[in-house]
Amino acid sequence: MANHKSALKRIRQSERRRKRNQHIRSEMRTMVKRCGEAFESGDASKAAEAFQIAERVIRRAATRGVIPRKRADRSVGRLAKRLNGVSAS
């Protein structure tokens, strides 16, 4: 266990950040999973709505520094590609 006051503060900060990041990452994964389920259902309007929500959550995670911006762009691009496949069929 840390002895210095600054080290104790750093531990508290790290734990708060870890919990926040964990929550954001979990929410993001859930929304991506729901988006995938909507794509599988074949309903274009439901899929488009799920995509919007997932995109918003992914972009917010990138803005908050939980995931890198390029990873967010890549994830959104892949989801958009799948969305276009649902709309086309």
Q: What is the CATH number of domain 5-88?
A: 1.20.58.110
Per-residue pLDDT of 16-49, as tens digits, reads 999 999 999 999 999 999 999 999 998 899 999 9
> Does the predicted model carry a pTM greater than 0.85?
yes
DSSP string, 40-82: HHT-HHHHHHHHHHHHHHHHHHHHTTSS-HHHHHHHHHHHHHH
Domain locations in the chain as residue ranges? 5-88
Q: Is 33 helix (H, G, I), strand (E, B) or coil?
A: helix
**Which tens digits make up the pLDDT trace of 40-88?**
998 899 999 999 999 999 999 999 999 999 999 999 999 999 999 886 6
